[in-house]
Amino acid sequence: MNSKTNSNCKYILGGGISGLLFAFYNPDYIVISPEIGGKLSNEHIAGTVLIHDSLETRKLLSDLDIPLRLKTHVIKYFIDGKLKDAVNLQETDRIISKKMNCAPNNNLNKDKTLSYQDNYIPILDINYQTLISKLEKRIHIIKDKAIRITSDEIICETGRFPYTQLISTIPAPVFWKLYQQEKKLEALPITFVVSRTNPLPDQKIIWDLVYFGDKKIPYTRVNSMKNGIFLYEFTGKYEKNEIKKLVPGLKIINHWYDHYGIVKSNLNNIPPPKVRFLGRFATWDHRVKIQEVIKQSITQFDFVSVWNKQKDFNLNFFDFNVQDIDKQQVLTKDFALRLTDEVHELLSKINWKTEEYKTVQIDKSQILEEWIDVFKYWLGIGNVWGFSIEDFFTEFWRKSKIIDNRYKKFIKPKKQADAT
């Protein structure tokens, strides 16, 4: 298919799970990717990807007619030569520091979004090949490889596709390279090793994942897979002979490395106009999980674009990676005062005084302009405090429920009484 035969102008770049999920819930979008499945095409990596049990993930399984199978993912921690069910804050810091290759309490280099406080995660047992197959059958896919992205066109090896809206699920560094812009986005590689060697042969306990916090142990965590297979993870890029030196006796079945294994979250990674980033590696945000992708896939694109555009502008005044409470308070004051001023500008466009002061000729285009100015400063306050779209919608519906109940309890009865 090429641009001459396709009139659609909404595309998804990338055929991984994020792109497939968005296309499923937004059928007016077409996926462009040379292959389907992404990281989940690797059965060993697929075994480490968890679908948390949530309303969104249950809805996905229901929508795809996949049976609901509940499962518990058991997590353990190996600290100071001992296997533990939980860790304290100091031990958590050690584990994170080891994984991120930095000193403890290093606020500049460590991704604080990594979490190690759970001893189990309620998940859904899913066959990813079945999931991908069902999604693939329900969406429209162009199997082509993007070689350049402009502000209005995706240029592929065999076709060119003008777009009005684009969802990018590919790693952010790859996107910006295709977009011909340089972005400083940091990541640490992970070397994966598949082995039948049990890292805890003397431990007669059940576990699915163990984090190793001791520095003398070179690997950071091990996943227990099916059929007696274990997946070891090492922060950094190691060749097979180097791994054998690091862990003598480790029987290696297979090994490879992922250049973008550990994302160092960068909240300044804001997409250009008409583009939305979706998924952990596209947003360059380590906190993003599949259940968030499902939720975001149902979110209206246009509002997300507006949100990102305003955040991109506010980037001129605030570094979203730096939590500076004093600066946030000052900016909140400035935005609030400017917002108040814009509200007065809005009032000046209408006859809001008493009848004898009706001197303003109503111009809806001017009202619209002033309303947008109010909105942009209002949105800026949320940007400054790092609120997400999910925060906005969650709080909006929570507050709406309170106000609705208040109206039904107090205001509505009074209005009915006054009417009688």
Domain map (residue ranges) of the chain: 1-68+125-184+265-300, 70-124+187-263, 301-402
pLDDT of 221: 95
In one letter, which amino acid is 40? Answer: L
Summarised one tens digit per residue, pLDDT across range 327-380 is 999 999 999 999 999 999 999 999 987 766 778 889 999 999 999 999 999 999
Categorize the per-residue pLDDT at 110 as very low, low, confident or very high, splitting at 50, 70 and 90: very low
Mean pLDDT of the region 382-408 = 88
CATH annotation of 1-68+125-184+265-300 = 3.50.50.60
Cα dist from 114 to 9, 187, 235, whole Å: 37, 14, 14
Alpha carbon distance 88, 95 (integer Å) = 11
Q: What predicted TM-score, i.e. pTM, was given to this entire model?
A: 0.79
Beta-carbon contacts of residue 411 (< 8 Å; ≥ 6 apart): none
Alpha carbon distance 318, 356 (integer Å) = 46
pLDDT at 109 over 60: no
Q: What percent of the chain has pLDDT over 90?
A: 60
pLDDT of 159: 95
Contact 207, 219 (CB under 8 A): no
**CA-CA-CA-CA dihedral for 243, 245, 250, 256, to nearest 10:** 10
Beta-carbon contacts of residue 12 (< 8 Å; ≥ 6 apart): 19, 22, 23, 29, 30, 31, 32, 166, 167, 168, 169
pLDDT of 185: 95
Summarised one tens digit per residue, pLDDT across range 131-190 is 999 999 999 999 999 999 999 999 999 999 999 999 999 999 999 999 999 888 999 999
Please name every residue paired with 13 in a beta bridge, in sequence order, or none if there are none: 32, 168
Q: 3-class SS at 189?
A: strand
Burial of 24 (0-12, 13-18, 19+ CB in 10 A): buried
Q: 3-class SS at 373?
A: helix
Categorize the per-residue pLDDT at 121 as very low, low, confident or very high, splitting at 50, 70 and 90: confident
Fold of 301-402: Helix Hairpins (1.10.287)
Alpha carbon distance 342, 39 (integer Å) = 48
